[in-house]
Protein backbone atom coordinates (compact mmCIF):
# COMPACT_ATOMS: atom_id res chain seq x y z
CA UNK A 1 0.00 0.00 0.00
CA UNK A 2 1.44 3.37 -0.96
CA UNK A 3 1.90 5.39 2.19
CA UNK A 4 0.57 8.90 2.76
CA UNK A 5 1.98 11.64 4.95
CA UNK A 6 0.00 12.38 8.10
CA UNK A 7 -0.63 16.13 8.01
CA UNK A 8 2.58 18.10 8.45
CA UNK A 9 4.32 15.40 10.50
CA UNK A 10 7.03 13.07 9.26
CA UNK A 11 4.75 10.10 9.99
CA UNK A 12 3.62 7.94 7.09
CA UNK A 13 0.35 6.06 7.25
CA UNK A 14 -1.43 3.49 5.16
CA UNK A 15 -4.52 5.08 3.56
CA UNK A 16 -6.55 2.31 5.11
CA UNK A 17 -6.41 2.21 8.87
CA UNK A 18 -7.85 -0.46 11.12
CA UNK A 19 -10.67 0.87 13.29
CA UNK A 20 -10.54 -0.95 16.60
CA UNK A 21 -14.07 -0.24 17.84
CA UNK A 22 -16.04 -3.30 16.59
CA UNK A 23 -13.62 -5.73 18.27
CA UNK A 24 -14.85 -4.53 21.66
CA UNK A 25 -18.30 -5.97 20.94
CA UNK A 26 -20.17 -3.04 22.48
CA UNK A 27 -22.33 -2.38 19.43
CA UNK A 28 -21.28 -5.30 17.26
CA UNK A 29 -22.65 -8.79 17.67
CA UNK A 30 -20.97 -12.22 17.63
CA UNK A 31 -17.63 -10.97 18.89
CA UNK A 32 -15.09 -13.12 20.66
CA UNK A 33 -11.57 -12.38 21.79
CA UNK A 34 -9.93 -14.99 19.56
CA UNK A 35 -11.43 -13.44 16.42
CA UNK A 36 -10.68 -9.91 17.63
CA UNK A 37 -6.99 -10.62 18.26
CA UNK A 38 -6.74 -12.49 14.96
CA UNK A 39 -8.34 -9.54 13.13
CA UNK A 40 -5.73 -7.11 14.46
CA UNK A 41 -2.97 -9.49 13.43
CA UNK A 42 -4.56 -10.02 10.00
CA UNK A 43 -4.64 -6.25 9.45
CA UNK A 44 -0.94 -5.94 10.17
CA UNK A 45 -0.07 -9.00 8.09
CA UNK A 46 -2.09 -7.55 5.19
CA UNK A 47 0.08 -4.42 5.25
CA UNK A 48 -2.07 -2.05 7.33
CA UNK A 49 0.13 -0.11 9.74
CA UNK A 50 -2.29 2.59 10.94
CA UNK A 51 -4.37 1.59 13.97
CA UNK A 52 -7.13 3.66 15.53
CA UNK A 53 -8.37 3.06 19.05
CA UNK A 54 -9.60 5.15 22.00
CA UNK A 55 -9.74 5.34 25.77
CA UNK A 56 -13.46 4.47 25.65
CA UNK A 57 -13.24 1.54 23.21
CA UNK A 58 -14.40 -1.18 25.57
CA UNK A 59 -15.88 -0.44 28.98
CA UNK A 60 -12.46 -1.15 30.53
CA UNK A 61 -10.18 -0.13 27.65
CA UNK A 62 -10.23 -3.59 26.08
CA UNK A 63 -9.50 -2.26 22.58
CA UNK A 64 -6.24 -0.56 23.58
CA UNK A 65 -5.23 -3.64 25.55
CA UNK A 66 -5.88 -5.98 22.61
CA UNK A 67 -3.92 -3.75 20.23
CA UNK A 68 -0.97 -3.92 22.62
CA UNK A 69 -1.24 -7.68 23.07
CA UNK A 70 -0.99 -8.25 19.33
CA UNK A 71 1.29 -5.44 18.18
CA UNK A 72 3.62 -4.68 21.08
CA UNK A 73 6.51 -6.41 19.32
CA UNK A 74 5.82 -4.43 16.16
CA UNK A 75 5.32 -1.07 17.84
CA UNK A 76 8.01 0.68 15.81
CA UNK A 77 6.39 -0.46 12.56
CA UNK A 78 2.95 1.01 13.22
CA UNK A 79 1.35 4.42 13.66
CA UNK A 80 -0.83 4.31 16.73
CA UNK A 81 -3.74 6.70 17.20
CA UNK A 82 -5.88 6.93 20.29
CA UNK A 83 -8.40 9.38 21.74
CA UNK A 84 -9.31 10.85 25.07
CA UNK A 85 -12.17 12.91 26.37
CA UNK A 86 -14.94 10.30 26.54
CA UNK A 87 -15.46 7.76 29.30
CA UNK A 88 -18.23 5.45 30.47
CA UNK A 89 -20.56 6.08 33.37
CA UNK A 90 -23.18 3.37 33.95
CA UNK A 91 -22.57 2.18 30.39
CA UNK A 92 -23.31 5.59 28.90
CA UNK A 93 -20.63 7.66 27.16
CA UNK A 94 -19.80 10.93 28.92
CA UNK A 95 -17.69 13.69 27.38
CA UNK A 96 -15.08 15.37 29.54
CA UNK A 97 -12.48 17.62 27.91
CA UNK A 98 -11.01 19.07 31.10
CA UNK A 99 -7.20 19.17 31.03
CA UNK A 100 -6.79 17.08 34.20
CA UNK A 101 -9.06 14.37 32.73
CA UNK A 102 -7.18 14.31 29.42
CA UNK A 103 -3.87 14.00 31.29
CA UNK A 104 -5.13 11.06 33.35
CA UNK A 105 -6.73 9.33 30.37
CA UNK A 106 -3.61 9.72 28.25
CA UNK A 107 -1.48 8.16 31.00
CA UNK A 108 -3.94 5.28 31.27
CA UNK A 109 -3.96 4.80 27.49
CA UNK A 110 -0.14 4.71 27.44
CA UNK A 111 -0.23 2.02 30.13
CA UNK A 112 -2.84 -0.05 28.34
CA UNK A 113 -1.08 0.33 24.99
CA UNK A 114 2.25 -0.60 26.62
CA UNK A 115 4.03 2.18 24.82
CA UNK A 116 5.94 5.34 25.72
CA UNK A 117 4.14 7.53 23.18
CA UNK A 118 0.92 7.81 21.19
CA UNK A 119 1.61 8.95 17.63
CA UNK A 120 -1.69 10.76 17.12
CA UNK A 121 -3.87 11.70 20.09
CA UNK A 122 -7.33 13.08 19.40
CA UNK A 123 -9.79 14.92 21.53
CA UNK A 124 -12.59 12.43 20.88
CA UNK A 125 -15.31 15.09 20.80
CA UNK A 126 -15.51 18.68 21.99
CA UNK A 127 -16.94 19.00 25.50
CA UNK A 128 -19.47 21.85 25.43
CA UNK A 129 -18.76 22.66 29.08
CA UNK A 130 -15.02 23.20 28.52
CA UNK A 131 -13.56 25.87 26.18
CA UNK A 132 -11.92 24.03 23.31
CA UNK A 133 -8.70 26.02 23.89
CA UNK A 134 -8.34 24.34 27.31
CA UNK A 135 -8.67 20.83 25.86
CA UNK A 136 -6.32 21.72 23.00
CA UNK A 137 -3.82 23.22 25.47
CA UNK A 138 -3.79 19.97 27.45
CA UNK A 139 -2.95 17.97 24.32
CA UNK A 140 -0.26 20.56 23.50
CA UNK A 141 1.30 19.91 26.93
CA UNK A 142 1.21 16.14 26.31
CA UNK A 143 3.12 16.80 23.08
CA UNK A 144 5.71 18.90 24.95
CA UNK A 145 6.13 16.05 27.45
CA UNK A 146 6.74 13.58 24.60
CA UNK A 147 3.77 11.40 25.58
CA UNK A 148 2.01 12.30 22.36
CA UNK A 149 3.58 13.08 18.98
CA UNK A 150 0.74 14.95 17.29
CA UNK A 151 -2.73 16.33 17.97
CA UNK A 152 -6.09 15.38 16.49
CA UNK A 153 -9.70 16.42 16.87
CA UNK A 154 -12.77 14.36 16.09
CA UNK A 155 -16.44 15.26 15.61
CA UNK A 156 -16.08 19.02 15.29
CA UNK A 157 -17.26 21.85 13.05
CA UNK A 158 -15.06 24.41 11.27
CA UNK A 159 -15.23 26.99 14.04
CA UNK A 160 -14.08 24.46 16.63
CA UNK A 161 -11.36 23.13 14.36
CA UNK A 162 -10.09 26.66 13.87
CA UNK A 163 -10.08 27.50 17.58
CA UNK A 164 -8.36 24.22 18.46
CA UNK A 165 -5.75 24.76 15.73
CA UNK A 166 -4.88 28.23 17.07
CA UNK A 167 -4.33 26.82 20.57
CA UNK A 168 -2.50 23.67 19.46
CA UNK A 169 -1.60 22.97 15.81
CA UNK A 170 -3.73 20.13 14.51
CA UNK A 171 -2.34 17.19 12.59
CA UNK A 172 -5.58 15.34 11.86
CA UNK A 173 -9.34 15.68 11.90
CA UNK A 174 -11.54 12.59 12.29
CA UNK A 175 -15.13 12.98 11.03
CA UNK A 176 -17.58 10.45 9.60
CA UNK A 177 -17.62 10.27 5.82
CA UNK A 178 -18.78 7.79 3.22
CA UNK A 179 -20.50 7.72 -0.18
CA UNK A 180 -23.82 8.80 1.33
CA UNK A 181 -22.68 11.00 4.22
CA UNK A 182 -20.52 13.77 2.81
CA UNK A 183 -21.41 16.79 4.95
CA UNK A 184 -17.74 17.58 5.60
CA UNK A 185 -17.28 18.56 1.95
CA UNK A 186 -19.22 21.73 2.73
CA UNK A 187 -16.82 23.12 5.32
CA UNK A 188 -14.42 21.02 7.41
CA UNK A 189 -12.80 19.24 4.45
CA UNK A 190 -11.76 22.40 2.55
CA UNK A 191 -10.67 23.93 5.86
CA UNK A 192 -8.38 20.94 6.50
CA UNK A 193 -6.94 21.02 2.98
CA UNK A 194 -6.21 24.75 3.36
CA UNK A 195 -4.49 24.23 6.73
CA UNK A 196 -2.55 21.07 5.88
CA UNK A 197 -4.56 18.97 8.33
CA UNK A 198 -5.04 15.29 7.49
CA UNK A 199 -8.61 14.02 7.17
CA UNK A 200 -8.97 10.52 8.61
CA UNK A 201 -12.55 9.38 8.13
CA UNK A 202 -14.64 6.89 10.06
CA UNK A 203 -17.67 4.90 8.90
CA UNK A 204 -16.42 4.45 5.31
CA UNK A 205 -18.61 1.34 5.16
CA UNK A 206 -21.40 2.98 7.15
CA UNK A 207 -21.17 0.37 9.87
CA UNK A 208 -21.23 -2.45 7.34
CA UNK A 209 -24.18 -1.22 5.26
CA UNK A 210 -21.94 -0.23 2.35
CA UNK A 211 -20.16 -3.59 2.40
CA UNK A 212 -23.31 -4.67 0.58
CA UNK A 213 -23.36 -8.13 2.13
CA UNK A 214 -26.63 -7.68 4.02
CA UNK A 215 -29.50 -8.57 1.69
CA UNK A 216 -32.67 -6.51 1.31
CA UNK A 217 -34.60 -9.00 3.44
CA UNK A 218 -32.07 -8.96 6.30
CA UNK A 219 -33.66 -8.63 9.73
CA UNK A 220 -31.46 -7.01 12.38
CA UNK A 221 -31.43 -8.84 15.71
CA UNK A 222 -32.38 -6.95 18.88
CA UNK A 223 -28.76 -6.98 20.06
CA UNK A 224 -27.45 -5.48 16.82
CA UNK A 225 -26.39 -1.87 17.58
CA UNK A 226 -27.35 -0.80 14.05
CA UNK A 227 -31.01 -0.99 15.06
CA UNK A 228 -30.89 2.55 16.35
CA UNK A 229 -29.88 4.12 13.02
CA UNK A 230 -32.67 5.06 10.55
CA UNK A 231 -30.63 4.05 7.50
CA UNK A 232 -31.00 0.41 8.54
CA UNK A 233 -34.79 0.32 8.54
CA UNK A 234 -37.98 1.10 6.62
CA UNK A 235 -37.93 3.25 3.53
CA UNK A 236 -34.33 4.36 4.08
CA UNK A 237 -33.19 0.73 4.07
CA UNK A 238 -35.01 0.09 0.78
CA UNK A 239 -33.43 3.20 -0.82
CA UNK A 240 -30.02 2.10 0.40
CA UNK A 241 -30.56 -1.35 -1.08
CA UNK A 242 -31.50 0.25 -4.44
CA UNK A 243 -28.24 2.19 -4.28
CA UNK A 244 -26.30 -0.93 -3.36
CA UNK A 245 -27.75 -2.74 -6.37
CA UNK A 246 -25.81 -0.30 -8.61
CA UNK A 247 -22.60 -1.06 -6.70
CA UNK A 248 -23.35 -4.79 -6.79
CA UNK A 249 -23.58 -4.67 -10.60
CA UNK A 250 -20.18 -2.95 -10.80
CA UNK A 251 -18.78 -5.44 -8.29
CA UNK A 252 -19.83 -8.34 -10.52
CA UNK A 253 -18.23 -6.65 -13.56
CA UNK A 254 -14.92 -6.14 -11.77
CA UNK A 255 -14.98 -9.39 -9.84
CA UNK A 256 -14.44 -7.66 -6.50
CA UNK A 257 -16.60 -7.26 -3.40
CA UNK A 258 -18.75 -4.14 -2.96
CA UNK A 259 -16.72 -3.18 0.14
CA UNK A 260 -13.59 -2.77 -2.02
CA UNK A 261 -15.40 -0.55 -4.52
CA UNK A 262 -16.63 1.67 -1.70
CA UNK A 263 -13.22 1.92 -0.02
CA UNK A 264 -11.41 2.51 -3.32
CA UNK A 265 -13.79 5.39 -4.12
CA UNK A 266 -13.46 6.82 -0.60
CA UNK A 267 -9.68 6.83 -0.42
CA UNK A 268 -9.41 8.53 -3.78
CA UNK A 269 -11.71 11.43 -2.90
CA UNK A 270 -9.84 14.75 -2.93
CA UNK A 271 -8.71 15.77 0.53
CA UNK A 272 -9.26 12.38 2.18
CA UNK A 273 -6.03 11.15 3.76
CA UNK A 274 -7.17 7.83 5.19
CA UNK A 275 -10.26 5.75 5.94
CA UNK A 276 -10.67 3.74 9.12
CA UNK A 277 -12.24 0.35 8.51
CA UNK A 278 -13.71 -1.53 11.38
CA UNK A 279 -13.74 -5.30 11.12
CA UNK A 280 -14.71 -8.21 13.33
CA UNK A 281 -13.18 -11.09 11.40
CA UNK A 282 -9.78 -11.55 9.72
CA UNK A 283 -11.33 -12.17 6.28
CA UNK A 284 -13.01 -8.74 6.39
CA UNK A 285 -9.86 -6.75 7.03
CA UNK A 286 -7.90 -8.84 4.52
CA UNK A 287 -10.57 -8.14 1.94
CA UNK A 288 -10.53 -4.42 2.79
CA UNK A 289 -6.75 -4.25 2.55
CA UNK A 290 -7.09 -5.30 -1.11
CA UNK A 291 -9.08 -2.17 -1.91
CA UNK A 292 -6.24 -0.10 -3.29
CA UNK A 293 -4.30 -2.48 -5.49
CA UNK A 294 -6.48 -1.56 -8.50
CA UNK A 295 -8.47 1.41 -9.84
CA UNK A 296 -12.07 2.08 -10.76
CA UNK A 297 -12.42 3.20 -14.39
CA UNK A 298 -13.67 6.71 -15.08
CA UNK A 299 -16.90 5.20 -16.47
CA UNK A 300 -17.45 3.28 -13.22
CA UNK A 301 -16.80 6.42 -11.17
CA UNK A 302 -19.35 8.34 -13.24
CA UNK A 303 -21.95 5.58 -12.65
CA UNK A 304 -21.21 5.53 -8.94
CA UNK A 305 -21.46 9.31 -8.63
CA UNK A 306 -24.75 9.31 -10.54
CA UNK A 307 -26.16 6.65 -8.19
CA UNK A 308 -24.98 8.69 -5.18
CA UNK A 309 -26.76 11.78 -6.52
CA UNK A 310 -29.92 9.82 -7.22
CA UNK A 311 -29.91 8.27 -3.74
CA UNK A 312 -29.39 11.66 -2.08
CA UNK A 313 -27.48 12.25 1.14
CA UNK A 314 -28.25 10.58 4.43
CA UNK A 315 -27.98 13.16 7.15
CA UNK A 316 -27.44 11.74 10.56
CA UNK A 317 -25.81 12.92 13.72
CA UNK A 318 -22.38 11.41 14.25
CA UNK A 319 -22.62 8.67 16.83
CA UNK A 320 -19.39 9.01 18.73
CA UNK A 321 -17.66 5.70 19.28
N1 LIG B 1 -14.19 9.36 16.25
C2 LIG B 1 -15.34 8.80 16.44
O3 LIG B 1 -16.23 9.32 17.11
C4 LIG B 1 -15.61 7.49 15.77
C5 LIG B 1 -16.93 7.01 15.62
C6 LIG B 1 -17.12 5.79 14.97
C7 LIG B 1 -16.03 5.07 14.51
N8 LIG B 1 -14.75 5.54 14.70
C9 LIG B 1 -13.55 4.80 14.23
O10 LIG B 1 -13.75 4.42 12.88
C11 LIG B 1 -13.71 3.00 12.75
C12 LIG B 1 -14.68 2.57 11.65
O13 LIG B 1 -16.02 2.71 12.07
P14 LIG B 1 -16.94 1.41 12.31
O15 LIG B 1 -16.05 0.28 12.68
O16 LIG B 1 -17.99 1.83 13.27
O17 LIG B 1 -17.67 1.26 10.90
P18 LIG B 1 -17.26 0.77 9.43
O19 LIG B 1 -15.79 0.63 9.25
O20 LIG B 1 -18.01 1.65 8.52
O21 LIG B 1 -17.94 -0.68 9.42
C22 LIG B 1 -17.39 -1.76 10.14
C23 LIG B 1 -18.29 -2.99 9.98
O24 LIG B 1 -18.45 -3.30 8.61
C25 LIG B 1 -18.51 -4.70 8.43
N26 LIG B 1 -17.42 -5.03 7.50
C27 LIG B 1 -16.16 -4.53 7.49
N28 LIG B 1 -15.46 -5.05 6.47
C29 LIG B 1 -16.30 -5.87 5.81
C30 LIG B 1 -16.16 -6.70 4.67
N31 LIG B 1 -15.02 -6.76 3.98
N32 LIG B 1 -17.21 -7.43 4.28
C33 LIG B 1 -18.37 -7.38 4.95
N34 LIG B 1 -18.56 -6.61 6.04
C35 LIG B 1 -17.54 -5.87 6.46
C36 LIG B 1 -18.38 -5.34 9.80
O37 LIG B 1 -19.69 -5.48 10.38
P38 LIG B 1 -20.61 -6.79 10.27
O39 LIG B 1 -19.72 -7.98 10.06
O40 LIG B 1 -21.35 -6.82 11.57
O41 LIG B 1 -21.58 -6.52 9.14
C42 LIG B 1 -17.66 -4.23 10.58
O43 LIG B 1 -17.88 -4.32 11.96
C44 LIG B 1 -14.02 2.49 14.15
O45 LIG B 1 -13.61 1.17 14.35
C46 LIG B 1 -13.29 3.51 14.99
O47 LIG B 1 -11.91 3.21 15.03
C48 LIG B 1 -14.55 6.74 15.31
Q: How many helices (H) and strands (E) does the chain have?
A: 10, 12
Residues 6 or more apart whose Cβ sits within 8 Å of residue 113: 53, 64, 67, 68, 80, 82
Residue 125 alpha carbon, nearest atom of ligand 1: 3
The strand pairing partners of 82, in sequence order, are 121
User: With a 6 A CB cut-off, is 82 part of the ligand 1 pocket?
Assistant: no
What is the CA(133)–ligand 1 centre distance, in A? 31
By the 8 A CB rule, do 153 and 125 touch?
no
Per-residue DSSP letter, 184: G
Residue nearest to atom 10 of ligand 1 (CA): 202
The strand pairing partners of 181, in sequence order, are 178
The span from the CA of 171 to the CA of 305, in Å, is 30
| 118-165 pLDDT tens trace | 999 999 999 999 999 999 999 999 999 999 999 999 999 999 999 999
Per-residue pLDDT band for 28 (boundaries 50, 70, 90) equals confident
Q: Which domains does the chain have, with CATH numbers?
A: 4-311 (3.20.20.100)
Residue 90: C-alpha distances to residues 23, 26, 39, 138, 230 (Å): 20, 13, 29, 26, 25
* CB burial of residue 32 (10 Å; 0-12, 13-18, 19+): exposed
The span from the CA of 62 to the CA of 131, in Å, is 30
pLDDT value, residue 223: 84
What is the CA(169)–ligand 1 centre distance, in A? 28
| 199-247 pLDDT tens trace | 999 999 999 999 999 999 998 888 888 888 889 999 999 999 999 999 9
59 is catalytic: no
By the 8 A CB rule, do 19 and 278 touch?
yes
User: With a 6 A CB cut-off, is 63 part of the ligand 1 pocket?
Assistant: no
For residue 261, pLDDT over 60 is answered with: yes
Per-residue DSSP letter, 281: S
pLDDT value, residue 301: 97
Query: How do 198-201 and 120-123 pair as beta strands?
Result: unpaired
User: With a 6 A CB cut-off, is 64 part of the ligand 1 pocket?
Assistant: no
Residue 295: C-alpha distances to residues 260, 266, 301 (Å): 10, 12, 10
What is the CA(222)–ligand 1 centre distance, in A? 19
Amino acid sequence: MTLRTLGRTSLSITPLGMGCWPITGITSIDINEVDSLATIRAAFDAGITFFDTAYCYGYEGESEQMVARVLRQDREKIVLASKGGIHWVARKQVRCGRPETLRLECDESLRRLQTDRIDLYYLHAPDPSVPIEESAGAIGELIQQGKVLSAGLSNANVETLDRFHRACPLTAFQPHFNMLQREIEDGPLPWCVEHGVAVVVYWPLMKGLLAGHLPREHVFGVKDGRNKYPMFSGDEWQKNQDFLDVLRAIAIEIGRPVSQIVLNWTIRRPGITAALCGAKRPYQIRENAESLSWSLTSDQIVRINKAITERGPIVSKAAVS
